[in-house]
Amino acid sequence: MTAIDKETWDKLSRPLGDKLVARLALPEITNRLFCALDSQGIRHLLIFLHPEDDTYQDAQSRGIRVATRELTIQGQSAEKYLDIECLDEVGFSIFDLMGGEIAEELENAKKPPIDGVKQILAKWRRFWGQQPHQILSREEQIGLFAELWFLSVWLIPKIGPNVVMAWRGPWGSRHDFEWTDKSVEVKATAQSRGRVYKIHGLGQLENPAQGPLYLFGVRLREEMSAGNNLPGLVENCRKQLNDVDDAFMHFETALVQIGYSPIHQDEYAKLNLHVLEDVLFVVDEDFPRITDSTFPSGLPSGVERVEYEINLDSFNHLITASSPEQLPFSQTP
């Protein structure tokens, strides 16, 4: 993961007055991005703009201020720069990661620099001021992996980017994906015993008010050589949602709700997972489950919560799709 090194900032000394002291941030990637320090010790990222490049201002983001300024390097004429200020030292680590992404965006030159910066700022704004996040547990990483696998491999290619709006689990909805006429609960297992999934509570496998309930089951195996990990799926989703602003923002906000932070991206990348199986079950009267209706008189006295495991190894007849092409629905929320 590319980031601006702490030593780059340490080599800068505070100037006097309204001057900035600057140096190339990542010269091995681009000569258009500078780190800069002002007399108050505030950190800046300066992006050199060509005359035809658009300007941009943003004073609404927490901890970040963006302006287009004319700056003069001694002995040279004034040039136009995009100036991104980090107003809170709590965000230094995120600021350095943002700088790495901006540098890579400038190197790729696939879009005007302002457009790339806007998208990077929009993404990181969701995480600003909320760190340090605790790293997700292994179980939480595997659960999020399964949801993103369903989203990026099954739903978006079949239905389109706006399907991300159905991802409601991060906000505490009963099911992970909810439409007006159906729901999907996503489960993952890394157990060697087969399709053994843990169910949390009596409501998790209750049918929605309208339409069917499906269970998307993913069997995983941890392998050093496996080609899939959580940061890779996150990035794949971002690429698929890149051109639809509302969908992109919904996705980024969902990651924040879950507690996923790119600060821990390198650690998350160590959990490489091989997908052994991904199938969609329909949850009908033959599906093994415990719900509120199992206890018509309520839970026994003293029992507050029920968690249990189901084994779907002998329930092949409930598989309604074993590939994205067989997905039994196609409409967006």
Per-position DSSP letters for 224-273, written without gaps between them: TT-SB-HHHHHHHHHHHHTT-HHHHHHHHHHHHHHT--GGGHHHHTT--E
List the beta bridge partners of residue 311: 196
- Is the pLDDT reported for residue 204 higher than 70? yes
Residue 131 has pLDDT above 70, yes or no: no
Domain boundaries, the chain: 6-125, 138-326
In 21-161 the beta strands, taken as DSSP E runs, fall at: 21-24, 33-37, 43-49, 64-72, 78-86
- pLDDT-derived band at 133 (thresholds 50, 70, 90) equals low
Q: What is the pLDDT of residue 154?
A: 98
Greater model confidence, 331 or 83? 83
Percent of the chain predicted with pLDDT > 70: 96
> What pTM value is reported for the model?
0.75
Predicted confidence (pLDDT) at residue 285 exceeds the cutoff of 60: yes
Q: What is the pLDDT of residue 120?
A: 86
Of 103, 332, 101, 102, the C-alpha closest to 231 is 101
pLDDT of residue 182: 96
**Residues 308, 306: Cα–Cα separation, whole Å:** 7
Mark 27-63 as b/e (b = at least 16 C-beta within 10 Å): eebbebbbbbbbeeebbbbbbbbeeeeeebeeeeeeb
Structure tokens at 76: 């040279």
Model confidence at 158, in pLDDT bands (50, 70, 90)?
very high
Residue 147 host element (H or E): helix 138-149
Whether the per-residue pLDDT at 129 is higher than 60: the answer is: no
- The two tokens of residue 127 are 């995480």
Q: Give 42 or 332, the one with higher predicted confidence.
A: 42
> pLDDT tier at 134 (50, 70, 90 boundaries)?
confident
Angle, helix 113-125 to helix 92-108, in steps of 10 degrees: 150
Question: Shortest CA distance to 4 belongs to which of 20, 38, 28?
Answer: 28
List Cβ neighbours of 307 (8 Å cut-off, separation of 6 or more): 198, 199, 200, 201
Bridge-based pairing state of the strands 307-311 and 196-200: antiparallel
Q: Which of 123-137, 142-156, 244-258 has the lowest mean pLDDT?
A: 123-137
The torsion angles phi and psi of 242, rounded to 5 degrees, stand at -55, -35
Q: 185 φ, ψ to 5°?
A: -100, 130
Average pLDDT, the chain: 91
Q: CA 23 to CA 35: how far, in whole Å?
A: 6
